[in-house]
Amino acid sequence: MSKADDHREAIQERKRQERERRVQDILDAAKKLFFLKGYLKMTMDDIALEVRVSKPTIYQYFKSKDELFFSLLTPASEKTEKALGEIERNLLDGRYGSGSTLLHDIFQALYRVYQTDPDAFRILQLFQQSGMVWALNEDVRRDLVVKARITFAQGRSILQAAMEQGLIHRRDIYPLNDVVWALFIGIVQLEDTKSKGKKGNRFLKPTLEMAERLMIEAMAADGRGGACPNLEP
């Protein structure tokens, strides 16, 4: 009965693909509507209509509106993880000659993730207020917390290695990592708000550049930009 088995298997495979595609369609529709109308105004019926499917079909694939919504996060989270992972690898391989280039790369990496998927980034920020606004399903919450923990651990690991290599000044790693992350997120959020309605955040880039410069001056071993040139003539 290997032929019958093959048949069954092929059918299973097709079905799996179909399910996957439907999930993707739903996610796309949700994303589109979220950025068109915002979270509260995007209804499950809207999404269903957009996918040309009925509401319960969506609930077949996602337990709740929250879960569907936060599923939009995953790609950006993975991208961040990948980008930071690469920096970490380069750092551990001793490929960074200065703290300023390292910090520059970190900011660049985060900025690039933001650019390729600003939507997901905004959702990530929203999550930070999850407790305020939502009553998240426990599963969803746990998932998000895990994602966050991974990113933070990566950040700390990078800072740790950078300190050991003398690229940046020694400081308490936990708050330092928090400061960098909070700074980036805070700026994206702030400039996003400011340029509400207009397309393109005119202020985001200069503000991020300013932040990078300040952090380099404060953190990087080579960051004083020739402030004390007289010491070593």
Partner DNA sequence: TATATTTTTTACCCATAGTAGAAAATCTCG
Partner DNA sequence: CGAGATTTTCTACTATGGGTAAAAAATATA
The residue ranges that bind DNA (CB under 7 A) are 4, 7-8, 11, 14-15, 19, 22, 41-45, 53-57, 59-60, 64-66
Of the pair 4, 135, the CB lying nearest its own copies is at: 135
Least Å distance between CB 140 and DNA?
A: 11
Residues that bind its own copies (CB under 8 A): 37-41, 122, 125-135, 171-172, 174-176, 178-179, 181-187, 189-193, 196, 203, 206-207, 209-211, 213-215, 217-219, 224, 227-228, 230-231
Q: Is-contact 73 120, C-beta < 8 A? A: yes
* Separation CA 148–CA 14 (nearest Å): 34
* Integer CA distances (angstroms), 229 to 12, 201, 207, 218, 224, in order: 70, 37, 28, 17, 9
In the chain, which residue ranges form alpha helices assigned H by DSSP? 2-37, 44-51, 55-61, 65-71, 74-92, 99-116, 118-128, 130-133, 138-164, 173-194, 204-219
Shortest CB 224 distance to its own copies, Å = 7
Interaction partner, residue 78 (DNA, its own copies, none; CB < 5-8 Å by kind):
none
- Tell me whether residue 87 or residue 215 sits nearer to its own copies (CB atom): 215
Binding partner of residue 2 among its own copies, DNA, none, CB cut-off 5 to 8 Å per kind? none
Interaction partner, residue 175 (DNA, its own copies, none; CB < 5-8 Å by kind): its own copies
Which amino acid is residue 8, in one-letter code? R
Which of the listed partners (DNA, its own copies, none) does 162 bind, with a CB threshold of 5 to 8 Å by partner kind?
none
Residues 121 and 134: beta-carbon distance below 8 Å: no
* Binding partner selected for residue 8 from DNA, its own copies, none, CB under the kind-specific 5 to 8 Å limit: DNA
Residue 158: CB minimum distance to its own copies, A:
16
Radius of gyration of the chain (CA): 22
* Nearest residue (CB) to DNA, 42 versus 176: 42
Angstrom distance (rounded) from CA 164 to CA 231: 24
